[in-house]
Amino acid sequence: MQVRQTQDAVSRSFVGGGPGVIYSGLIWIVTGFVYLRSDVNMAFIVLFLGGMTIFPVSALLSRVLFRRPGLSSNNPLGMLGLESTIAMLAGLFAAWLFLPLQSAYVLPVAAIAVGVHYFAFATLYGDKTYWLLAALITAVGFAGIYALDAMSGAMLFAVGAIELVIGLILSARALKS
């Protein structure tokens, strides 16, 4: 299989990754509301547990709602999404370590971990839009540390909005092809 063929197969199976990005955006928005009603601890729990459901929910949506075939087990790019997710989980663990030390950094560091993990998706899906998504979320995470009031919740809604918009673009593009 050629690289472009394997990328096309991944994109076809997961609707360009759009449903997963949209679902992740919704999780960030819910996290923002939880943060505003509760605290950073509860918000991080919601973000982490919601994040654990992204792959199964997006795969289910791709199969049931969009009637896409599953990804072949011999697709060499099939593991790239998992590998980048493992790196993201390490970043989320680092974010969690900030809870007792500097809780204002927890959610921005989580955003950076999520943002950085999207860079590999440009190779996974063969779509450089993921570089934009990764850069925007990573920048919002850094802004949450350095420029914005990280505790305002605005950063959480910004990440969610970015993912919703780009997820819709990715989905629309994949459904056209």
pLDDT of residue 121: 96
pLDDT of residue 1: 56
Of 134, 85, 139, 142, the closest CA to residue 108 belongs to 142
pLDDT of residue 79: 85
Per the CB < 8 A criterion, the answer to whether 174 and 15 are in contact is yes
pLDDT of residue 149: 61
Residue ranges in the chain modelled with pLDDT below 70: 1, 148-151
Distance CA 161, CA 148 (A): 16
DSSP string, 34-81: HHHHS-HHHHHHHHHHHHHTHHHHHHHIIIIIS-PPPPPTT-TTTTHH
* Amino acid letter for position 80: L
pLDDT of residue 148: 63
pLDDT of residue 152: 74
Of 91, 94, 99, the closest CA to residue 118 belongs to 91
pLDDT of residue 132: 98
Of 49, 61, 48, the closest CA to residue 21 belongs to 61
